[in-house]
Amino acid sequence: MDLDPRQYENHAINDNDINNIVLSYLIHNCYKESVESFIACTGMKQPADYLENMEKRKRIFHFALEGNALKAIELTEQLSQDILENNKGLQFDLLSLHFVELVCSRKCTEALEFAQTKLSPFGKEDKYMEKLEDFMALLAYKEPEKSPMFHLLSFEYRQQVADSLNRAILAHLNLPSYTAMERLIQQATVVRQCLSQEAGKDGPPPFSLKDFLKS
């Protein structure tokens, strides 16, 4: 008999699979102490070389998250020049973080000089023009955090750039760019959407992680 994906509650999950999903999430996000505790509690095998790579990624991630983009760039290039050379969009985002830090520190002259030397070359490509104009517009405001482009100064923006950098480094190391948990949620979302479309109004509603966690 064919399996009905709507009857997922009846499908048993192996504890080792769950442990691997959790471990994947912890390693991806550089939670070193949690990784060590989890491995000790579960008796799982320690992944090869995970500590060395995690320590390097953790330092780079936190420098980017704190807005110290130049240090993040320096450490990334120590890993490999190819990571940023092959990802100009990420390079632009990191340089823009440093520009924002200069603007927030009211070092407008230094920020303008940095933009002219490091950011303006990206303006030759249309895909960077709008974002470049938004960054440059910050210089026009005495309180850039109250400008229409205030989101570029936010923690959320730094988080987005830091996450992108972490994924790029993982890809360079031939490791998954997304955690097993993220991929499962993506897959569950697509499957539920397909089921909903096939069954019409009688089908299950589109997958919502928020609603699922409440159920």
pLDDT at 1: 39
Is the pLDDT at 5 greater than 60, yes or no?
no
Lowest mean pLDDT among 41-50, 59-68, 124-133, 144-153: 41-50
pTM: 0.83
Q: Chain centroid to CA 160: how far?
A: 5
Burial (0-12, 13-18, 19+ Cβ within 10 Å), 26: buried
Residue with tokens 């950011």: 119
pLDDT at 186: 85
Q: How confident is the model at residue 134 (pLDDT cuts 50, 70, 90)?
A: very high
pLDDT at 143: 93
- H-helix or E-strand containing 91? helix 88-104
pLDDT at 72: 97
Instruction: Supply 120's token pair.
Output: 């303006």
Q: What is the mean pLDDT of residues 168-177?
A: 91
pLDDT digits (tens, 9 = 90+) for 87-110: 999 999 999 999 999 999 999 999
pLDDT digits (tens, 9 = 90+) for 19-71: 989 998 998 999 988 998 999 999 888 776 666 688 899 999 999 999 999 99
pLDDT at 6: 54
pLDDT at 32: 87
Dist CA 181 CA 5 (whole Å): 19
Among 73, 32, 28, 56, smallest CA distance to 178 is for 28
By three-state DSSP, how is residue 141 classified? coil
Among 142, 160, 61, smallest CA distance to 104 is for 142
pLDDT at 139: 94
